[in-house]
Amino acid sequence: MKKLVVLSGAGVSAESGLRTFRDMGGMWEEFDVYEVASPAGWAKDRKLVLNFYNERRKQLLEAKPNRGHLGLAELEKEFDVKVITQNIDDLHERAGSTSVLHLHGELRKSRSTADPRLIYEIEGWELNEGDLCEKGSQLRPHVVWFGEAVPAIEEAAEFVSGADIFVIIGTSMNVYPAAGLIDHVRAGIPVYVIDPNEVSIPGYPHLHVIRKKAGEGITDLINELRKLKQ
Ligand code: APR
């Protein structure tokens, strides 16, 4: 089976009702990213940070995968699919994708502030002050904040360099190192982009652009990929 590697971003979850970041009405229009998603913000007011992620976790529990997520899961019948996502939601997994790599962490998990190897599932939607790890330290969201390392980036780059097809879906390609993954695609490998808005990637003029929302564009992608197989 051909290796199909997908890089997804907030846009793939937009039709599930979860906000994007830099779109009209995006998250970063309302919140100061450094207040709610950086180590400095955590040091300054961890309750604000915990509440920010509690709100997003609450929305996630009410959200469902959309046709974009479901279509990617469907493709596992015909391709060896690896989803590399910048999203911290679990909608790819809930749609049925069996191989998902989270570059920026997972909203439904917490992590010890004393020992980052201690990671826990969050029951329900709340993680609050006083919720402690087994070593007695405050738990934090298991999310990569601005200014923090992206531990999974090397593994992600490995997957991309072995791709026979690369698909970018629902990301503005603004944030590094995730956006730099396209540089690991081998020469001559087809790159598809599904996005209702213009996505320009410097140095990559030959993208196969499907200028649609994920829920509709995924059908076009599946049809185009099937032609590739013939
Ligand atoms: N279907 C597909 N794409 C969509 C849809 C949709 N229904 N709606 C919006 N988009 C596209 C937008 O056009 C944009 O290109 O999704 C992209 C969203 O871009 P961003 O809001 O920048 O989100 P993302 O690229 O995932 O951000 C990357 O930045 O804030 C950090 O850690 C955060 O993981 C996030 C990272």
pLDDT averaged per 10 residues, the chain (length 230): 97 97 90 96 98 97 98 98 98 98 98 98 97 98 97 98 98 96 96 94 91 98 89
Domains of the chain: total: 2
Residues 137 and 47 in one domain: yes
**pLDDT at position 180, please?**
97
Same domain, 27 and 79: no
Residue range of the domain that includes 125: 19-62+109-143
Q: What is the CATH number of the domain that holds 215?
A: 3.40.50.1220
Q: With b meaning 16 or more CB within 10 Å and e meaning fewer, what string describes 41-69?
A: bbeeeeeebbebbbebbebbeebebbbbb
Residue type, 184: H
Looking at the fold, whether 125 and 225 belong to one and the same domain comes out as no
Amino acid 229: pLDDT: 76
Question: Atom 23 of ligand 1 has which residue's CA nearest to it?
Answer: 10
How far away, in angstroms, is 42 Cα from ligand 1 center?
24
Sign of the Cα pseudo-torsion (128, 134, 138, 140, in order): negative
Using CB distances shorter than 6 Å, the residues near ligand 1 are 9-12, 14-15, 20-23, 26, 86, 104, 170-172, 174-175, 194-197, 199, 213-214
- Kindly state whether residues 130 and 224 are assigned to the same domain: no
203: left (phi over 0), alpha (psi -120 to 50) or beta: left
As a whole number of angstroms, the distance between CA 208 and CA 136 comes to 51
Burial of 87 (0-12, 13-18, 19+ CB in 10 A): buried
- Residue 205 confidence (pLDDT): 83
By most ligand atoms within 8 Å of CB, the mutation choice from 84, 175, 176, 198 for ligand 1 is 175
The catalytic residues are: 104
- The ligand 1 atom at the shortest distance from the C-alpha of residue 103 is 34
From 91, 124, 143, the end of a domain falls on 143
Residues 122 and 228 both lie in one domain? no
DSSP 8-state class, residue 186: P
The pLDDT value recorded for residue 189 is: 95
Q: Do 99 and 207 belong together in one domain? A: yes
Taking the C-alpha atoms of residue 48 and residue 127, their distance in angstroms, rounded to an integer, is 12
The secondary structure of 187-230 as a DSSP string is TT--EEEE-SS----TT----EEE-S-HHHHHHHHHHHHHHHH-
Regarding whether 81 and 193 lie in a shared domain, the answer is yes
On whether both 92 and 200 belong to a single domain, the answer is: yes
Query: Per the structure block, which two tokens stand in for 144?
Result: 């990569």
| Pairwise CA distance, residues 23 & 8, whole Å | 15
For ligand 1, what atom is nearest to the CA of residue 146?
Answer: 32
- Alpha-carbon distance of 45 to 84, in angstroms, equals 31
Same-domain pairing of 122 and 224? no
Model pLDDT, residue 25: 87
Quote the ligand 1 centre to 130 CA distance (angstroms).
33
The residue to mutate among 8, 21, 83, 211, having the most atoms of ligand 1 within 8 angstroms of its beta carbon, is 21
First to last CA, the chain: 13
22 C-alpha to ligand 1 centroid (Å):
7
For residue 135, give the CATH number of its domain. 3.30.1600.10
* Distance from the alpha carbon of residue 132 to the mean position of ligand 1, in angstroms: 33
| 66 Cβ contact partners less than 8 Å away, ≥ 6 residues apart | 12, 13, 15, 16, 91, 214, 215
Show the DSSP H helices in 19-178 as ranges.
Answer: 27-30, 33-36, 39-44, 46-62, 67-74, 91-95, 153-161
Examine the domain organization and report whether 164 and 87 are in the same domain: yes
Helix (H, G, I), strand (E, B) or coil at 143: strand
For the entire predicted model, the pTM comes to: 0.97
> 172: CA distance to ligand 1 center in Å?
5
User: What does the pLDDT read at residue 93?
Assistant: 98
